[in-house]
Amino acid sequence: MAMEVTGFMNRSNYIGRLAPSPTGAQHVGNARTFLVAWLHARSRGGTLLLRVEDLDTPRTKEWAGDQAIEDLEWLGLDWDEVADLQSLRESRYCEILGELKSQEVVYPCSCTRSEVEASSSAPHESQLDGAVYAGTCASRSASDAVDLDARGVRYAWRFRIPESTPAWSDELHGQQWLDARKLLGDFVVARSYGPTAYQLAVVADDHDQSITHVVRGDDLIYSTYRQHAIYQALGWPSPRMLHVPLVIGPDGKRLAKRHGDSRLSLMREKGHGPESLLGELAHSLGLLKSIRPVTAEELLSIVGSRDDWLRTIPRVPWVYNPQ
C-alpha cells in the first residue's frame, strides 16, 4: 500500500480524521460519513488526518486501502496529513496494554467465542452490541497469563468495564448514557495471538495523533462507552464524538450487497463524477432542499453560511436504494 508516514504540521485546535477500514470496498454509507467528517472539520478550519485502519488482519484486503484513498479523492475530500498504518504500531499498542495490565484493568480470558455467547447474561434479542460477557475469567489477575502461556492456552485480554458509567454528549445525538457494565460488559482489547483489537488501537491512535473530534458511523456509538473507559484508565482526555446515522436499504436493514451495488469504485469505473452522489448525500443531510449535482467545495460554502447545519441532519437512518 502506498502510504507515507509524515511529521505533523502546524495544527489547528480541531484535529479530525478520515479512518477507512480496508476490509472491502467503500460504499455510499462510508461516503456519507466521510462527507460529514470533512465538512465538520473544514468548516471549523480544522486539520484532517487520513488513517487507514489496517488492523483487522484476516479481513484486511491488500487493494482496499489504496482504493479507499481513490474514493476519497474522487469525492473531492482532502486531508492534510497521513497517519501511520495501524499495522506498524503494534509495539506502541503493546506498551499501552502493559500499562493496563499493571493497573489490573485487563485480565486474560480464555473463553471461546461460543462459550462467551452461551454464558452471556443477556439473551440474544436484547443484546445491544454483541454478547455481554458473563465474567467467567474476571477473577484472574494479569499475571495469570504466565501460566496460560506456559500451557499454550490462547486467550484475549479483556478490559474490566467500571462499575459506574459516565454520561457523555454526542455532537449530533446529545446526551448519552446507559449502564455499560450491565448492557455491554467486559470487552476484548488484545489477543495473545493476532493483532491488537480495534478498541485499544483506536484509542491509542486518537490520543497519539491528538485527535480532538471523532466523526464516524453510529454503528460505533456503543464502542464509545468502551473507549471512554480506556481513556479514563489511562488518564487521557477523550475526543468529542459525532455519530452519523447509518444508511439502510429499502427493507430497513443495514445497506448490504443484496440491496444492489453501492460501491464508490463502481461509480468511478462507470465514468461518473461524484456530483450526483454528493447531491443525494447533501439532500439526505438536509443541506440541499432538492437533489442536484454539487461539489464538496460547494457544500462547504453552504455549511459555512449556516452555523446550525448539524441540526438539519436527520437522527434516523437514511434509506438508500442502489439502482
Helix (H, G, I), strand (E, B) or coil at 9: coil
DSSP codes of every residue in 243-303: EEPPEE-TTSSBP-GGG---BHHHHHHTT--SHHHHHHHHHHTTS-SS-----HHHHHHHH
Dihedral sign, CA of 2, 216, 159, 187? negative
Q: For the chain, what's the residue count? A: 323
Out of 19, 109, 287, 303, point to the residue binding ligand GLU (CB under 6 A).
19
**How many angstroms separate the CA atoms of 187 and 166, rounded?**
17
Residue 179 CB, shortest distance to ligand GLU, in Å, is 22
Residue nearest to ligand GLU (CB): 216
Choices 14-22, 89-97, 253-261, 272-280; region in contact with ligand GLU by CB under 6 A = 14-22
217 touches ligand GLU (CB under 6 A): yes
Residue of 160, 126, 120, 154 lying closest to 140 (CA atoms): 160
- Residue 20 is a binding residue for ligand GLU (CB under 6 A): yes
> Considering the rule CB under 6 A, would residue 25 count as an interface residue with ligand GLU?
no
Asked if 21 touches ligand GLU (CB under 6 A), the answer is yes
35 touches ligand GLU (CB under 6 A): no
Q: Which residues contact 125 (CB under 8 A, 6 or more apart)?
A: none
If one asks whether residue 156 binds ligand GLU (CB under 6 A), the answer comes out as no
φ/ψ of residue 159, rounded to 5: -90, 130
Binding mask 50-89 for ligand GLU (x = CB under 6 A): ---x------------------------------------
| Identity of the residue, 216 or 228, whose beta carbon is nearer to ligand GLU in the bound complex | 216
For residues 214 and 299, which CB has a smaller minimum distance to ligand GLU in the complex? 214
Q: In what order do the strands lie in the sheet with 187-191?
A: 106-109, 156-159, 187-191
The distance of closest approach from Cβ of residue 140 to ligand GLU in the complex, given in angstroms and rounded to an integer, is 28
Closest CB to ligand GLU among residues 75, 214: 214
CA distance 203 to 108: 20
> Cα torsion at 276, 26, 78, 172 (round to 10°)?
80
Nearest CB to ligand GLU, comparing residues 96 and 294? 96
Q: Which of 197, 202, 203, 299 binds ligand GLU (CB under 6 A)?
A: 202
Per CB under 6 A, residues contacting ligand GLU are 19-21, 53, 202, 214, 216-217, 220
